[in-house]
Amino acid sequence: MSIADKALWIIERNSQQPLSLDSIAQACGISRSHLAFAFGTATGLPVIKYLRARRLSQAARALAAGARDILAVALDNGYGSHEAFTRAFREQFAMTPEAVRDRASVDGLTLVAPLELKATGRLPLEPARLTEEGPVRVVGLSETCSFETTIKIPALWQRFMAYYAAIPAKLDQIPLGLSRATDDEGQFEYTCGVEVAHFGETPKGLERLELPPRRYAVFEHRVHISSLTDTYFAIWNEALPSLGRTLADAPVLERHNPEFNPGTGEGGVALWVPLAD
């Protein structure tokens, strides 16, 4: 069973219990970052957004079926007050709980049903290479993304390359990407950057990142860059659990191969996954 499947089962079985990204990750036996990436790449949704949508969908059905006590429905679905529940309900459905109760129908509401993941013929994954690396110093351009907005990343690369020539002390001429700490809402920082020998005068608008020495599992993605999500799916949900490893709370590195062609997306990248142990 994949990590995403485990998380789905835990959510569906315990949706009326207190749940958080941390508690679901603990139940899966992995780090919160590992869970966030595994679930996001498998479903296209942040864990907590899915949990919230499932709870509110259950609440809407209960109200339409005649539940009179809105606070009781709120408490049953993880909300501590009538106000917090009403606010979340309105954001999800553009309608108040009272309106759904009064009309006794969920018609027109976009309810979220339980997800069911099935085998999808993902890309085969080569065995990982374990290595020690660091420190790594990077100068780059960052933007907040989510699993639903990764299409923003190619444009971010295009903006970063306008700065590229002005970055001093480049250690390697080949750029690299970094994905950093996902929050409970499925947001993560993606950085388009280049490794430098030392930090010199950084062009305005760019940031400096220094990563301490760490052990990595290195996976090769040799096909078109547009299928990178498939390789990540296999890493988070299959390869790391098989190795008995979990993702550390540290950036994932995407090192472009020397043959990588930004004009075609061909040439491949190596994915350096930081290990928690």
Task: Give residue-wise pLDDT tens across range 35-47.
Answer: 999 999 888 889 9
Q: What average pLDDT does the segment 6-28 reach?
A: 86
- Find the helix or strand (DSSP H, E) in which 59 lies: helix 47-64
Residue 9 has pLDDT above 90, yes or no: no
pLDDT at residue 118, as a whole number? 59
Query: pLDDT tens-digit profile of 169-206?
Result: 999 888 999 998 767 888 899 999 999 999 989 999 99
Does the CA dihedral 232-33-140-270 come out positive or negative? negative
Phi-psi region of 217 (alpha: psi -120 to 50; beta: other; left: phi over 0): beta
Q: Where are the domains of the chain?
A: 3-103, 129-274
pTM of the model: 0.75
Amino acid at 184: D
pLDDT at residue 120, as a whole number? 54
Dihedral angle computed from the Cα positions of residues 228, 230, 235 and 237, in that order, rounded to the nearest 10 degrees: 150
Q: Note whether 3-103 and 129-274 share their fold.
A: no
| Token couple for 162 | 């306008």
CA distances from 79 to 20, 25, 87, 96 (A): 13, 21, 10, 15
**CATH number belonging to domain 129-274:** 3.20.80.10
What are the beta bridge partners of residue 176?
Answer: 193, 255
| Token couple for 222 | 């040799």
Amino acid at 186: G
Instruction: Place 67 in a pLDDT band, splitting at 50, 70 and 90.
Output: confident
The residue ranking higher by pLDDT, 18 or 217, is 217
Residue 121 has pLDDT above 60, yes or no: no
pLDDT at residue 178, as a whole number? 96
pLDDT at residue 63, as a whole number? 94
Instruction: Place 11 in a pLDDT band, splitting at 50, 70 and 90.
Output: confident
Instruction: Place 166 in a pLDDT band, splitting at 50, 70 and 90.
Output: very high
pLDDT at residue 210, as a whole number? 96
Query: pLDDT tens-digit profile of 238-263?
Result: 899 888 888 899 999 999 999 988 87
pLDDT at residue 114, as a whole number? 86
The residue ranking higher by pLDDT, 277 or 1, is 277
Nearest to residue 274, comparing CAs of 216, 206, 203, 199? 216
Residue 16 has pLDDT above 80, yes or no: no
What is the percent of the chain with per-residue pLDDT over 90, rounded to a whole number?
A: 57
**CATH number belonging to domain 3-103:** 1.10.10.60
